[in-house]
């Protein structure tokens, strides 16, 4: 009878662990289903359209249009209307024999008219200011792209962290369920005297350890969900799930070609180029700082006070031209030129720093990708070895060579190996995206 119960127990343990292993395999191989709602593409699309950082960058772009319009307004005339009334007293009278007495001006004075002022030429200063604002707009356009790219990188990091945590929690749940069923069966065997208290305590310790691991995973998952909700602008209480998307193509470029592509396509290099153009324009503007300004003016309207009918309003005008030539500006132009030239030098050094960082990032991304590929291969090999070891353990257990706790060790090794396969594949996918970003490929 005891041998029969022992054989029945062994068959139960083998069946239980085999089912647990099968479930774990399906967890790693299959994509999340049903309850998954968010794909990587949909999240990135939402974030790069509606994130406050993008909206701020777009608003800066709108502000650039306003600045260009303001610079162009210097070529347009300034037109104003002015009107006034004044009462003067006392006024002087002059008497002419045989003609009577005359007032030199009326008591009531009225005037109304338009004033027009137009810059005829500032010898290129306005054109330079317009060029400066247009170049600033180009810089803002590139800034929008840079913001979207960086947000996409943040989304990818958050997304795949969630993918790993979701799948890891599933594997831990399966381990806990298997151990609980095993514990329940051992407790029944203890009642018949065919199991020991040690087996029960050892199983409980295993359950407690895995539950602690699951708690850590759930905490990390909740933090990642908060970050995802922040990126999407959703309430922090939103419980989001993401799809398991691990299929991604590698960039089809060689090492040197990747560096060349990165230096051509990276937003940081494009921003540095735009800043260099901006610095050159600012320097050239200093040459126009003390250029003369030629302007014209015209005023016309009606007013009274003209002899002899001083109370009758009459049309009047005044027109002319003026020129303003700076003679001495307290050396402001010289110092502005020094500052502008220094800004060019600083920008050149910043560009070189960016170039070196990009090259370093490309090389590092390639190395990390190669390492992650090796880890995928190693973890898959480890999984095959763990599966083979577990199969041998089942044979040994069935022969009575090892205990059920040793068989559980084999089952746990298989589950942990599958978890490592999942992590290595996610790391590989993330490193592919990092390499794509390093060479300047758009992630959105």
72-99: per-residue pLDDT in tens?
999 999 999 999 999 888 887 777 777 6
d(CA 339, CA 404) in angstroms, rounded, equals 79
Cα-only R_g, the chain: 41
Say whether 84 sits in a helix, a strand or coil. Answer: strand
On the 0-12 / 13-18 / 19+ scale of CB atoms within 10 A, 141 is middle
> In 3D, which of 38, 34, 25 has the Cα closest to residue 245?
38
pLDDT of 215 reads 96
d(CA 106, CA 88) in angstroms, rounded, equals 8
Instruction: Say if residues 48 and 152 touch (Cβ distance below 8 Å).
Output: yes
DSSP of 419-436, one letter per residue? HHHHHHHHHHHHHHHHHH
pLDDT at 19 over 60: no
Question: Average pLDDT over the chain, rounded to whole?
Answer: 86
User: In the structure, what pLDDT confidence band is assigned to residue 249 with cuts at 50, 70 and 90?
Assistant: confident
d(CA 409, CA 203) in angstroms, rounded, equals 11
**Neighbouring C-beta atoms of residue 39, cutoff 10 Å:** 13
Backbone phi and psi for residue 426, each to the nearest 5 degrees, phi listed first: -65, -45
pLDDT at 41 over 70: yes
150-180: per-residue pLDDT in tens?
999 999 999 999 999 999 999 999 999 988 9
pLDDT of 247 reads 67
Check residues 153 and 310 and name the one with the higher pLDDT: 153
pLDDT of 10 reads 52
pLDDT at 328 over 80: yes
Instruction: Say if residues 435 and 372 touch (Cβ distance below 8 Å).
Output: no
CATH number for the domain whose boundaries are 2-438 = 1.20.1600.10
Phi-psi region of 96 (alpha: psi -120 to 50; beta: other; left: phi over 0): beta
> In 3D, which of 146, 136, 2 has the Cα closest to residue 70?
136
SS3 content of the chain, % helix, strand, coil (to 5): 70, 15, 20
pLDDT at 56 over 80: yes
* Share above pLDDT 90 across residues of the chain, in percent, rounded to a whole number: 62
pLDDT of 34 reads 40
CA atoms within 13 A on the CB side of 194: 16
Q: What is the mean pLDDT of residues 197-225?
A: 92
* Share above pLDDT 70 across residues of the chain, in percent, rounded to a whole number: 91
376-420: per-residue pLDDT in tens?
999 999 999 999 998 998 888 778 788 778 888 888 899 999 999
């Amino acid at each position: 009878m005891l041998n029969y119960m022992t054989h029945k127990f062994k068959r139960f343990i083998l069946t239980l662990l085999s089912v647990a292993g099968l479930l774990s395999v399906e967890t790693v191989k299959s994509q999340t289903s049903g309850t998954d709602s968010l794909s990587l593409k949909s999240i990135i699309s939402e974030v790069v359209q509606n994130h406050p950082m993008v909206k701020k960058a777009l608003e800066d772009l709108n502000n650039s249009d306003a600045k260009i319009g303001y610079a162009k307004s210097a070529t347009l005339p300034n037109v104003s209307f002015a009107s006034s009334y004044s009462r003067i007293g006392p006024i002087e009278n002059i008497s002419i024999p045989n003609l009577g007495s005359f007032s030199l001006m009326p008591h009531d004075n009225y005037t109304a008219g338009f004033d027009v002022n137009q810059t005829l030429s500032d010898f290129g200063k306005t054109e330079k200011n317009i060029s400066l604002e247009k170049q600033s707009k180009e810089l803002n356009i590139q800034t929008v792209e840079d913001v979207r790219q960086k947000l996409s990188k943040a989304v990818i990091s958050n997304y795949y962290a969630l993918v790993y945590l979701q799948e890891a929690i599933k594997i831990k749940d399966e381990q806990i369920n298997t151990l609980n069923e095993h514990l329940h069966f051992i407790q029944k065997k203890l009642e018949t005297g065919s199991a020991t208290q040690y087996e029960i305590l050892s199983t409980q310790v295993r359950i407690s350890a895995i539950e602690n691991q699951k708690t850590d995973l759930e905490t990390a998952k909740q933090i990642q969900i908060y970050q995802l909700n922040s990126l999407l602008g959703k309430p922090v209480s939103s419980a989001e799930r993401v799809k398991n998307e691990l299929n991604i193509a590698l960039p089809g470029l060689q090492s040197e070609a990747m560096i060349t592509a990165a230096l051509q396509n990276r937003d940081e290099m494009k921003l540095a180029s735009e800043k260099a153009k901006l610095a050159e324009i600012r320097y050239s503007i200093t040459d126009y700082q003390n250029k003369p300004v030629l302007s014209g003016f015209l005023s016309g309207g009606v007013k009274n006070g003209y002899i002899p009918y001083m109370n009758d309003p009459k049309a009047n005008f005044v027109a002319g031209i003026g020129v303003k030539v700076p003679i001495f500006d307290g050396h402001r132009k010289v110092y502005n030129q020094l500052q502008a030239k220094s800004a060019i030098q600083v920008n050149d050094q910043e560009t070189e720093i960016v170039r070196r960082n990009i090259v370093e990032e490309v090389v590092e991304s390639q190395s990390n990708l190669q390492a992650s590929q090796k880890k995928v291969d190693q973890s898959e090999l480890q999984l095959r070895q763990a599966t083979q070891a577990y199969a041998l353990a089942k044979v040994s257990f069935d022969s009575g060579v090892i205990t059920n706790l040793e068989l559980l060790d084999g089952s746990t090794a298989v589950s942990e190996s599958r978890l490592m396969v999942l992590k290595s594949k996610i790391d590989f996918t993330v490193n592919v995206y990092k390499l794509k970003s390093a060479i300047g490929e758009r992630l959105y």
